[in-house]
A and B are shown apart, each in its own frame.
Chain A
Amino acid sequence: MQLHTCLGSALVAMGPETFLSFIPLNLEAEDLSVSNIWLFPILKQYIVGARLKYFTEEISPMIGRIREKAQKVLDIVF
């Protein structure tokens, strides 16, 4: 809980771009336990005053890559 608040205030102070460059989400790792999924609630709660550009340039390509990967896996299976 305290860690949550602490990281949250760090996020507010740095902004999501610097914050995520320190602790990347790592979603594209092979093993999901390596990726920092626990950051999601903190990000959701504390992002304020971020740049929309960051979302279009970083997050949505990331979504695209993940979707692509999922599709490739499904192609292998079926």
Chain B
Amino acid sequence: MRCSVFFPPLYSFSTLYTLQLEKQGLTVSSRNADSLAYSLWSLLPSFCNYPSDTAKSFKDLERHLRNTLKEEPDIRGIICTSLQLLIRQNKNIKDSNDKDDIGQDMAKEQVLVNYSQQVATENLRALEISAKNLLKDLSDVFLKSTKDDGGCLQVLFLQCTIVEPIVHACSHNIKLEFAVLFMSLFFSCCARMCYAILKLSIALVSAFIIQILPCIIISFTHGILIG
């Protein structure tokens, strides 16, 4: 009689304990899954290493990337790195006239045979079309981020690094649209009085105005001529 009184609590105590352990095990496995997903994402920069179908498939990838940019803060850095890599490699090929400097690496050489200047130009055009949307999302992420200064600085740094090659690669029409976007970024920084970000953004905007000034002047003179 005594036993039956005594044992049930003990028993339930031990099941509670195992449940606790099980819970821990499950959380560990879910954490494992998270790290697996992160490692899969970290393959993206490698896939962006001279891919063979940028012009054709970037549109699909862009959709994925934009969703991820909005939803998963951890992956933003990886995405920005991959985009930078894509832009830089294509631009280098487009600009280089002689192919002497590239191709010490056997594997690279093999790939670069298929990467003519024309292919690179087409790739850049595909990137250019997506650039506007991607930049808009990046800015949204930055504008919506609340007080955490570290995070928002990080995104802005990423923007700075990513913007420069895009701006260089883009045609004049798209540059004008970017200018508007940067002005809004600039004002939001003023409103927040974040000195560090403000400085960065001033630098960005001024660099940008210098970039687009010629094309503003050209469009003005065009207007006058037509008028």
Contact = CB atoms under 8 A, between A and B. Distances in A.
Given A63-B40, A73-B26, A52 B64 contact: no
A40 B43 CA distance: 8
B26 A67 contact: no
Given A66-B36, A73-B30, A53 B56 contact: yes
Contact of A12 (B52, B56, B61, B107): B107
A32 interface: yes
Nearest to B46: A47
Q: What does DSSP make chain B's interface, helix, strand, loop or mixed?
A: helix
Contacts of A74: 26-27, 30
B41 A47 contact: no
A3 interface: no
A59 B27 contact: no
B23 A46 contact: no
B184 interface: no
Contact of B34 (A9, A16, A56, A70): A70
Interface string A41-69: 00111111111111110011011001101
Nearest to B31: A70
Interface in B145-160: none
- The range of chain A's interface size is 20 to 34
A44 B43 contact: yes
A53 B57 contact: yes
B111 A48 contact: yes
B33 interface: yes
Interface of B: 23, 26-27, 29-30, 32-34, 36-37, 39-54, 56-58, 60-61, 64, 107-108, 110-111, 114
Interface of A: 9, 12, 16, 27, 32, 37, 40, 43-56, 59-60, 62-63, 66-67, 69-71, 73-74, 76-77
